[in-house]
């Protein structure tokens, strides 16, 4: 899993798994009841967009979807920027930005759920070797992960240097390690 940390501090950590697409579009998943009663994105310009499983901590019905995009705008005053050039906004505001032409639907990433750690838990997992921290990248955070030539996790590991590249090759079962 490639996790984009959106919050980290003394109150704990939160993030989104970037590379776990669910089997369906916003409209399909909403019709199936997965996105909760209040999503109402199926009738918008985002209806055909993929949804990613952001993590095992599932949202409440009031805010079922987390949205990230790369275009800050005064139109979305609620936007939070966990990384320069990456913005988290409400689905309501982002739909408005798409409908007004400020964003294209394919420039928006939608996540159901998140990953959350209690204070100190993520650091303990890193120390135990469960995660390999890397500098966050706007391009990795915003890249749609469906149909890539190389899985996102492997591409990221290869960008981190030869030690991580070799680990990725071994994990992927490459013969020429």
Give the pLDDT confidence score for residue 177 in this predicted structure: 47
State pLDDT tens for residues 121-173: 999 999 999 999 999 889 989 988 888 888 899 899 999 999 988 988 888 78
Give the pLDDT confidence score for residue 68 in this predicted structure: 92
Sheet holding 21-25, edge to edge: 21-25, 50-53, 108-112, 66-69, 86-89, 80-83
- Beta partners for residue 46, in sequence order: none
CB pairs under 8 A, 24+ apart, for 11-14?
11/119, 12/116, 12/117, 12/118, 12/119, 12/121, 12/122, 13/116, 13/117, 13/121, 13/122, 14/114, 14/115, 14/116, 14/117
Residues of the chain with pLDDT under 50: 177
Mark out the alpha helices in the chain (DSSP H runs).
26-31, 91-99, 121-127, 138-142, 152-159, 162-172
Tell me the HSE value of 154 on the side-chain side, using a 13 A CA sphere: 12
Give the pLDDT confidence score for residue 19 in this predicted structure: 94
């Amino acid at each position: 899993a490639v996790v984009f940390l959106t919050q980290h501090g003394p109150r704990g950590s939160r993030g989104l798994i970037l590379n776990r697409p669910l089997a369906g579009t916003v409209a399909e998943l909403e019709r199936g009841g997965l996105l909760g009663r209040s999503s109402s994105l199926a009738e918008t310009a985002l209806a055909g967009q993929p949804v990613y499983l952001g993590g095992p901590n599932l949202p409440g019905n009031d805010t079922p979807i987390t949205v990230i995009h790369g275009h800050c705008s005064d139109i979305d005053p609620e936007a939070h920027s966990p990384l320069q050039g990456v913005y988290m906004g409400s689905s309501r505001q982002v739909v408005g930005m798409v409908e007004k032409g400020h964003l294209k639907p394919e420039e928006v990433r939608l996540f159901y759920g998140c990953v959350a750690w209690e204070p100190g838990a993520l650091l303990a997992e890193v120390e135990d070797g469960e995660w390999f921290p890397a500098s966050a990248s706007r391009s990795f955070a915003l890249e749609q992960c469906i149909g890539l030539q190389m899985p996102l996790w492997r591409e990221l590991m290869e960008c981190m240097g030869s030690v991580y590249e070799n680990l990725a090759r071994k994990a992927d079962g490459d013969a020429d390690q």
